[in-house]
Amino acid sequence: MQGSPDILYKAAQHLPKAGGKRLRPALVILVSKALGGTLENAIYPALSIELMHNFTLVHDDIMDRDEKRRGIPTVHVIYGEPMAILAGDLLYAKSYEALLKSRLAPDILKKMTEVLTWAAVTLAEGQALDMTFEERWDVSEEEYMEMINKKTGSLFAASAMLGGLAANRADLQEQLKELGSKMGVAFQIRDDLLSLIGDESKTGKSKYNDLREGKKTLIVIKALERASSTQLETLKNILGKKDASLDELERAFRILEETGALEYAQRKAEELAERAISIVKSLPVVDEDARNILIELIEFGIKREY
């Protein structure tokens, strides 16, 4: 990715170059391969999804005031907010550009562009919901599931759907959408857990930042639901307090532990992963190896430490 001015392209490449797990492009490629598609047809859609994902990270980090990701400072910390906004916008455009570089037939390309655009709309809605939740104490599990389905599920869903289209299996879009969505939500719940129990040197993110920002993760929602009145008061005092001390954050964390909210969330992630795996097993797969790796990827999503 090259262009002028240099500083814009440096800012845009800051996060992609830092790596990440690249689960979403892997999902595109594995689904396509499992269904008999060629790598050539899947590679640009996969790139497109990863660029779209990186765009959302750059903007979300500004909105959520996250200062660390993938073990390095976030884009706006290094380049300032204006350039970070623009870097995200450029990655967004480059996401479409990548898709357009593929040599797919125009009608398949049209369907892919529709999927990518649906995901872009949906994930903006999800991020907005997530932001409105920060001010609320009464978010239900159902509302959380709608939010996270939109915010994280949609891009995983789009990945699986693009993989299907790359393999010329437009007939499987509904199953692939559910597969990706379930896998994505399971992955995200594990992500929220890791931001509490994970080792910062492995996750690459600032520990407890979700608590400081008042994010209503499934864990927090379940803890608020189950907390005693004393615990509830403590949580309400600490969650969303931008300048909370480490001591306070650890106190809040202990309540999440005591109410069993951590186990509840992990169990939920496992259920969703099981459902995703059962969909994989029901697909008309032609490549068993790709299918097995796909199943391993879903399992990795809920067991990982990073």
> Which residues of this protein are in contact with a copy of itself, per CB under 8 A?
3-5, 7-8, 59, 62-63, 81-83, 85-86, 88-90, 92-94, 96-97, 100, 105-107, 109-110, 113-114, 116-117, 120-121, 124-125, 127-129, 131-132
Cis peptide leading into residue 16 (ω within 30°)? no
- The residue among 11 and 28 lying less far from a copy of itself, judged by its C-beta, is 11
- The residue among 41 and 231 lying less far from a copy of itself, judged by its C-beta, is 41
Report which DSSP code applies to 218: H
- The residue among 45 and 301 lying less far from a copy of itself, judged by its C-beta, is 45
Q: How far is it, in rounded angstroms, from Cα 43 to Cα 112?
A: 13
Q: Least Å distance between CB 96 and a copy of itself?
A: 4
Q: Least Å distance between CB 116 and a copy of itself?
A: 8
HSE-CB at 250 with a 13 A cutoff on CA atoms is: 3
Q: Least Å distance between CB 60 and a copy of itself?
A: 9
Q: Least Å distance between CB 164 and a copy of itself?
A: 18
Q: Least Å distance between CB 91 and a copy of itself?
A: 9
Give CA 151 to chain center in angstroms.
7
- The residue among 120 and 167 lying less far from a copy of itself, judged by its C-beta, is 120
Q: Least Å distance between CB 197 and a copy of itself?
A: 27
Q: Least Å distance between CB 284 and a copy of itself?
A: 26
Nearest to 172, CA basis, from 188, 161, 186? 161
- Can you read off the two tokens belonging to residue 177? 């959408």
- The residue among 62 and 293 lying less far from a copy of itself, judged by its C-beta, is 62
Residue with structure tokens 């490449």?
13
Give, in order, the Cα–Cα distances in Å from 100 to each of 45, 96, 191, 282, 291.
9, 6, 32, 31, 27
Q: Least Å distance between CB 101 and a copy of itself?
A: 10
- The residue among 114 and 233 lying less far from a copy of itself, judged by its C-beta, is 114
Neighbours of 81 (CB within 10 A): 11
- The residue among 114 and 174 lying less far from a copy of itself, judged by its C-beta, is 114
- The residue among 33 and 76 lying less far from a copy of itself, judged by its C-beta, is 76
Note the helical H segments in the chain. 6-17, 23-34, 39-63, 75-79, 81-101, 106-133, 141-148, 154-166, 173-197, 200-203, 209-212, 218-226, 229-238, 246-258, 261-282, 288-303
Q: How far is it, in rounded angstroms, from Cα 55 to Cα 303?
A: 26
- Can you read off the two tokens belonging to residue 103? 């040599």
